[in-house]
Structure 1
Amino acid sequence: MDLSRFQQQLKGASSEARALPPVDKWDPPFCGDINLEIALDGRWFYEGSPIGRASLVRLFSTVLKREGDNYFLVTPVEKVGIRVEDTPFIIVEWENNGDTLVFTTQSGDTIPLTDLSQIELRVPPSALRDDNATAIPYLCVRRNLWARLHQNVYYQLLTQAKEVRKKENNTTITQFSLDSAGKQFVIGEVTS
Structure 2
Amino acid sequence: MSKVGYARVSTLDQSLEVQLQKLRDHGCDKIFSDIASGSDTRRQGLKDLIAYLRTEDMLVVTRVDRIARSVLDLQQLVRDLKASGITLSAIEQPVSTDSASGKAFLDMLAVFAEFELNIRRERQMEGIAAAKVAGKYKGRKPLSDKIKDEVQTLYKNRYTISAIARKLSISRNTVYKLLR
- Global fold match (TM > 0.5): no
The structure number with the bigger radius of gyration is: 2
TM-score scaled by length of structure 2: 0.25
TM-score scaled by length of structure 1: 0.24
- The structure with the largest helix share of the pair is 2
